[in-house]
Amino acid sequence: MKVVAIQGSPSMDKGMTALILNPFLEGMKGAGAEVTLCYARKLKIRPCAGDFACWGRTPGECHIKDDMQELYPKFREAEVWVFGIPYYAVMPGEMQNLLNRLVPLLELVIRSEGGIMLPSRRKELQLKHIVLVSSCYFWEMEQFEELLGVMRKFSRAMGADLTAVLRPHAIVLRRKIDKGEDVSSVLDTAKAAGVEIVRQGSISDKTLRSIGEPLISREDYIKMHDEAGKS
């Protein structure tokens, strides 16, 4: 199984998204997947020109010559696309640019899904699954809804299943790690999720819930945040 993974956090491996993304990808590799990891912050990707030449003059090909030209073959060949995207109302700009530039992998053959008109994916795509790995600062799972809305529509357009691996109040996970506290229940489960998507083609609800389980109460989180603001 070929996998292309994009680490979309501006903080890259020092950020909170990496806390879940890295063990998740380790699990995929351990289960036999061939994983290509790229960092959006390091890529030179220009914004989409919006002229839809990739649907007209040069079908399936983007005329903008930048780092996306090296990524297109990887996306075409991969069965799983993994996007590590922190929730930044809605996402970091580098990731939005990259997602927009994937339009050449679609074609203007209109189909209908659930009453919604969508383009069709190009026939050469091997894609089966899209995985969103995301973190956010605040406590609630509901914080991810805007990002999930974008990724659900993107996945529908690409004709692939979407699985969301979500870690709210990731700052608490970071602080526990920095203090040397045991957070293996979260990190080991993130790795197990990577194994599951390779071996089973899906991640169980139990595993997803375990990755996103509350690390402290909402009240204690607010207290922690308020105290940090006063220091």
d(CA 204, CA 163): 10
Instruction: Specify the pLDDT at position 190.
Output: 98
Determine the residue type at 154: F
Return the CA Rg of the chain: 18
Q: Binning pLDDT at 50, 70 and 90, where does residue 231 land?
A: low
Token code pair at residue 109? 């053959």
Token code pair at residue 202? 């899906």
Spell out where 85-149 has E strands.
Answer: 106-113, 116-121, 129-135
d(CA 60, CA 78): 17
Token code pair at residue 35? 């994983």
Token code pair at residue 207? 């595993």
Token code pair at residue 10? 């501006």
Q: Write phi, then psi, for 170 (nearest 5 degrees).
A: -65, -20
CB count in 10 Å sphere of residue 9: 24
Q: For the chain, where are the alpha helices, taking DSSP H only?
A: 17-30, 68-77, 93-100, 145-158, 170-178, 184-199, 205-211, 218-230
Residue with tokens 């993107």: 154
Domains annotated for the chain, with CATH where assigned, are 2-230 (3.40.50.360)
pLDDT of 227 over the 90 cut: no
Beta-carbon-side half-sphere exposure of residue 124 (alpha carbons within 13 Å): 13
Instruction: Specify the pLDDT at position 79.
Output: 98
Query: Tens digits of per-residue pLDDT, 45-104?
Result: 999 999 999 999 999 999 999 999 999 999 999 999 999 999 988 999 999 999 999 999
Query: Tens digits of per-residue pLDDT, 113-172?
Result: 888 899 999 999 999 999 999 999 999 999 999 999 999 999 999 999 999 999 999 999
Rounded mean pLDDT of the chain? 95
For residue 145, the Cα-to-chain-centroid distance in whole angstroms is 14
Query: Tens digits of per-residue pLDDT, 22-43?
Result: 999 999 999 999 999 999 999 9
